[in-house]
Structures are given as structure tokens and as C-alpha cells.
Amino acid sequence: MQGVIPSMIVTVSKEGIPNIAYISQVFYVDDQHVALSHQFFNKSIRNLHENPQVCANIVNPDTCKTWKLNLAFSHSETEGQIFESMRAQLEAIASMMGMEDVFSLKASEIFKILSIDNIN
């Protein structure tokens, strides 16, 4: 969940059209919540307002195990401790990739964890 391997999220519009996006961070908030970094995924945000369910696949960079998280959108944060921690982590990721001018955190999207499954 540290942004080493991008995570994939899937959202679905109210018409049932899926959208897949890759994101830099799935950030641990607490035992029942994670935050996703909102940088580029405008279509995903539109879908979330129509259908608040998300499936995220994350890969542990140490073990290469993949986890599927079923999530429900809760709210967005554009300031505060979670947002600032994610912004700092995103800046570090961007610096490692030489993309400091490309990555910009627009919001921390907070989700309730519905289930977690190991898929390999």
C-alpha cells in the first residue's frame, strides 16, 4: 500500500459501464477505512457519485501477494492529517519517478472497507 506498485480500481457507472483506473496510493486510515489518492481519476469520481461501490486490487511489494478490497465511498478530504500524509507520500513517489510536476493530489477519497480477499 506504499505506492511501489500502482493499484487498480474498478468503478461502475449507473448504466453499468465499468471503468478501470490505476492509482498511486491506497492509504491505510484505520481498521475499517482506506483512502485512495485522487490525482487523475475524474471518470472514477463521476462513477462513485452514481454508484459508491469500488473494487481495488493492491499488491504487497514485499511478497507480491495481491489483495482485493471491496469498498464503499464515504467522503473526500482536501485538507487535514490524512490528506497531508498522502500528499507527502505522493511527492516522494513522484520524486523517485522523476515526475514531480505531473503528480498532484486533488483529494483523499475515503472508503469503508466491506471485505478483503487474498487472490493469489
Over residues 27-42, the pLDDT tens digits come to 999 999 999 988 766 7
Enclosing H/E stretch for 74 = strand 66-77
pLDDT tens digit sequence for 10-67: 999 999 999 999 887 889 999 999 999 887 667 888 998 899 999 999 988 888 899 9
**Prediction pTM value:** 0.84
pLDDT value of residue 50: 92
CA dist., res. 115 & res. 119, Å (int): 12
DSSP state of 15: T
pLDDT value of residue 14: 93
C-alpha cell at 4: 511501489
In the chain, the domains with their CATH numbers are 7-118 (2.30.110.10)
pLDDT value of residue 94: 61
